[in-house]
Amino acid sequence: MTLLDGKALSNKIKDEVKVEVEELIKEKSVTPGLAVILVGNDAASATYVASKAKSCKNAGIYSVVHEMPDTISQDELLETIKRMNENPSLDGILVQLPLPKHIDTTIVLEAIDPLKDVDGFHPYNVGRMVSNLDSFLPATPFGVMRMFQEYNIDLKGKNVCVIGSSDIVGKPMAALLINAKATVTVCNSSTKDLASHTKAADIVVIAVGVPHLLKGDMLKDGAVVIDVGINRLDTGKLTGDADFEDCKDKCSHITPVPGGVGPMTIGMLLKNTVKAARLRETREKK
């Protein structure tokens, strides 16, 4: 069994980004800039945002964290995004989700300039991704694709079962796998007999937020398991959606939690920010 080491791979990606940033500064005098908007005081969101800002700094990317109280109106948030869209030194804009209930997430995400949409959640980028055109890819599924590439896991003609169909992980994951010519089955909480789908899969990607849902007896021998889930147990320990101990002997490859898909996400966000910075000239001509 091969452990898919997302931590090591993420460090490699961060080193790549550092070199790309140095090149951009040297050749085009462009320092990539990322704005992160944090609404409210959700502890988990604040931790994610702090870690994004730290990774930007280490990579030589300029970043600003714009904190807003959860009493902010939707219009005030949209006005902030508009200003950021117009600010030429900001290449990427990211709104940390979830947003407070009185704010319409769709309207907010659609307000971001698609050329600055480093999270890849704007319908423009989602549409281009589904059509297999160049676009910003959502960081988590993008990270999983990079993992497949790095570990030479061939996708063409493989049966892949994606468990979970959220807009952030499951759906974009399925689209990227379809583009890679895999045969894709997408399951959700209404799926009948989940095991019948996972047993037929060469690769299972699970992103549901249910600790240890995937067991070894739901897998075929030699399956690849990609566990996107991050769940905090009452003990404070982090665990995945797959029962690692139960699955590992059935697998050819498996991601640990923590240290698997999680660390990849920030690395791919940095990649997207550099990509956005390369588009700065295109944006300015618009």
Q: What is the binding site for ligand NAD (CB under 6 A)? A: 140, 163-166, 168-170, 187-189, 191, 194, 207-210, 213, 228-231, 261-262, 265
Closest residue to bound ligand NAD by CB: 166
CB closer to ligand NAD out of 39 and 163: 163
Q: Which CB contacts under 8 angstroms, 24+ apart, belong to 40-47? A: 40/68, 40/69, 40/70, 40/99, 40/100, 41/70, 42/98, 45/96, 45/97, 45/98
Instruction: List residues with catalytic annotation.
Output: 52, 96, 119
Element (H, E) at 243: none
Whole-number minimum distance, CB 207 to ligand NAD, in Å?
Answer: 4
Element (H, E) at 54: helix 43-59
CB closer to ligand NAD out of 30 and 99: 99
Structure tokens at 223: 């399956």
**The pairing of beta strand 203-206 with beta strand 223-227:** parallel
Whole-number minimum distance, CB 210 to ligand NAD, in Å?
Answer: 5
Which residues neighbour 73 within 8 Å (Cβ) at sequence distance 6 or greater?
A: none
Beta bridge partner(s), residue 125: none
Whole-number minimum distance, CB 19 to ligand NAD, in Å?
Answer: 24
CB closer to ligand NAD out of 115 and 213: 213
CB closer to ligand NAD out of 31 and 45: 45
Beta bridge partner(s), residue 204: 161, 225
Whole-number minimum distance, CB 269 to ligand NAD, in Å?
Answer: 10
CB 180 within 8 A of CB 155: yes
